[in-house]
Structure 1
Amino acid sequence: MRYYRRFSGGEYRLLAVEDETAYDLTAVKPRLDSFGDLAAAASISDEGVDRLASELTDTAPVVDVDPAAVSRPVVPEEVWAAGVTYEISEEAREAESGMPKMYLHAYEAERPEIFFKATPSRTVGPGEAIGIRADSTWDVPEPELGIVLYDGSIVGYTIGNDVSSREIEGENPLYLPQAKMYERCCSIGPAIVSADSVDDPHELTMTMEISRNGEVRYEGETSTGNMARTCEELVEFWRDHNTVPELGLLLTGTSLVPDDGFTLRPDDEVRIEIDEIGELSNPVIEV
């Protein structure tokens, strides 16, 4: 199943989509208004989120999914991210850095690069503006498959945009937190697809398009099959010797990297699409 969180009439509602039919689960269980609530209930009852949702769709009203009313499908307590998981990402970060060998080592090493990305207040949802730093002149979106975890277990997948300052990170790798974590640095959405609904998260097509003044300035396509590491491996390293949040999100890296001469500008529009999940679209502002 695919899950959306809709905000309308001053309240949030959890929608489950099965065979292109959307059901309002909150209408059946008013306290169930987020995917996190559903994951918690499924964990308590020791059953999958889809099975629990299916028990509610029999009596849930059928509704429309209004893209304009869709918000972040999940508000994770913490967002973490993995880097240099695709060869082209490793090459791009080598090119921007004065210390290129460290990125090649991270790409080839047993231990992946995993870093803290965002708190809930630094994330935005579909249609909301992502931010580029006013003290940076080279800023890019990074479209990524996001792994949704509840109590350390993979329960679903979503789309994430790990907006980054290549200028700040390239100046010195120790500046990575400033290049990665700031206001509106991460978008999430538009939906969560349950883990049971995805046959193989490593066989998903991902596309990104960046428009400026109605003109497409960048478009690219890749597959999660090009990842050098598996989702399970990344999750294992994130959890290892670490207290992970009850509801968390781990981004898995990108291979869609605009040319070196390109930087995001205010009023640009970034559209990211991943098979089975949908399209995440965000305008750009300076922060």
Structure 2
Amino acid sequence: MRYQRLSTGGQHRLIAVDDETAYDLTAVKPRLDGFGELAAAADIADLEIDEMASELTDEAPTVSLDSLTDGTLPLVPQEVWAAGVTYEISEEAREAESGMPEMYLHAYEAERPEIFFKATPSRTVGPGEAVGIRADSAWDVPEPELGIVLYDGSIVGYTIGNDMSSREIEGENPLYLPQAKMYERCCSIGPCVASAAEVGDPHELTMAMEITRDDEVLYEGETSIGNMARTCDELVEYWRDHDVVPELGVLLTGTSLVPDDGFTLQPDDEVRITIDEIGELTNPVVEV
């Protein structure tokens, strides 16, 4: 199943979509008003996420699929982390932008992956909401990524993430990575959480990105998650090792869709990211 949140009258409702039918789970269990609450209930009952939801769909009223486009985050992760240089083309792009290119090759080839803190809930936006580019940066790009959703350290689903990035700031000095990566509206996730059972093998997924300006397509590309040099399980293992992970978190897994070096985002651009089995995440761009 796929899970989304619907905001109505200041209240959130958890919606489960199965075979293009959307069920309002909150109408059956009012305390289940988010994906985290569903994951917790499934964990207590020792059930898979979809099994827990299936126990409620017989009683749950249905809602229109058209109502699920209100821009609400599908989940509110306590923390968003991200992995870097997990694809060869991403490593090559980082080498091209940096005055210290050898460090990115080392990160790509090393046993230990690059994993960094990306966003808090207040810095994360949902589908249809604006992502940000820094006013003190002249080279800014989106980074479309598969997001792994974890509950209590275990993979329970997947989503789409946009790891907004200032290539100018990171390229000036890799030690500036937190400023290049973490700022207001630096991350978007959505449009839903697809359960692990719904997705199956995430490395068989196809990811695409399109960037438009004034209805003109400036960039479009497509790749396979299977091109990633590391597995999702490997990245999760390194993220959890020797750390206290949040109860509900998202780990972004890197990208191989990188616009040409001469391209930078501008306000009012639109970024559209699609991953099969999950859906489409679309965000306009504003300066922050």
Q: Which TM-score band applies after superposition, normalised by the shorter structure?
A: over 0.9
Aligned partner letter, 1:50? D
Partner of 1:239: 240
Partner of 1:80: 81
The alpha-carbon deviation at position 269 of structure 1 amounts to: 0.4
The farther-off stretch of 62-71 and 174-183 is: 62-71
Partner of 2:5: 5
The alpha-carbon deviation at position 32 of structure 1 amounts to: 0.5
1:161–1:187 contact (8 Å) kept in structure 2: yes
CA distance in 1, matches of 2:105, 2:156: 31
CA distance in 2, matches of 1:273, 1:48: 26
2:5–2:68 contact (8 Å) kept in structure 1: no
- In the superposition, the TM-score normalised over structure 2's length comes to 0.99
SS of match in other structure, 1:208: strand
Partner of 1:42: 42
Aligned partner letter, 2:185? R
CA distance in 2, matches of 1:32, 1:49: 12
- Residues 51-97 of structure 1 show CA distances to partners (whole Å, capped at 9, x for unaligned) of 00000001101111224324111111110000000000000000000
CA distance in 2, matches of 1:28, 1:199: 28
Partner of 1:27: 27
1:4–1:70 contact (8 Å) kept in structure 2: no
User: 1:1-287 to 2 correspondence within 5 Å?
Assistant: 1-65=1-65, 66-287=67-288
Aligned partner letter, 1:144? E
Aligned partner letter, 1:89? S
CA distance in 2, matches of 1:280, 1:21: 20
CA distance in 1, matches of 2:128, 2:71: 9
Aligned partner letter, 2:211? I
CA distance in 2, matches of 1:198, 1:128: 25
2:144–2:255 contact (8 Å) kept in structure 1: yes
CA distance in 1, matches of 2:194, 2:124: 19
- Residues 250-273 of structure 1 show CA distances to partners (whole Å, capped at 9, x for unaligned) of 000000000000000000000000
CA distance in 2, matches of 1:200, 1:189: 19
Residue ranges of structure 1 left out of the alignment (5+ in a row): none
CA distance in 2, matches of 1:69, 1:126: 8
The farther-off stretch of 174-183 and 196-205 is: 196-205
Aligned partner letter, 1:229? R
Aligned partner letter, 2:25? L
CA distance in 2, matches of 1:77, 1:168: 26
1:24–1:61 contact (8 Å) kept in structure 2: yes
CA distance in 2, matches of 1:201, 1:61: 31
The alpha-carbon deviation at position 147 of structure 1 amounts to: 0.3
1:3–1:191 contact (8 Å) kept in structure 2: yes
Aligned partner letter, 2:61? P
- Sequence identity percentage: 81
The alpha-carbon deviation at position 34 of structure 1 amounts to: 0.4
The CA RMSD measured in Å over matched residues stands at 0.7
SS of match in other structure, 2:170: helix
Aligned partner letter, 1:40? A
SS of match in other structure, 1:281: strand
- Give 4+ residue runs of structure 1 displaced > 3 Å after superposition: none
The alpha-carbon deviation at position 10 of structure 1 amounts to: 2.2
Aligned partner letter, 1:172? N
The farther-off stretch of 2-11 and 232-241 is: 2-11
CA distance in 2, matches of 1:182, 1:132: 9
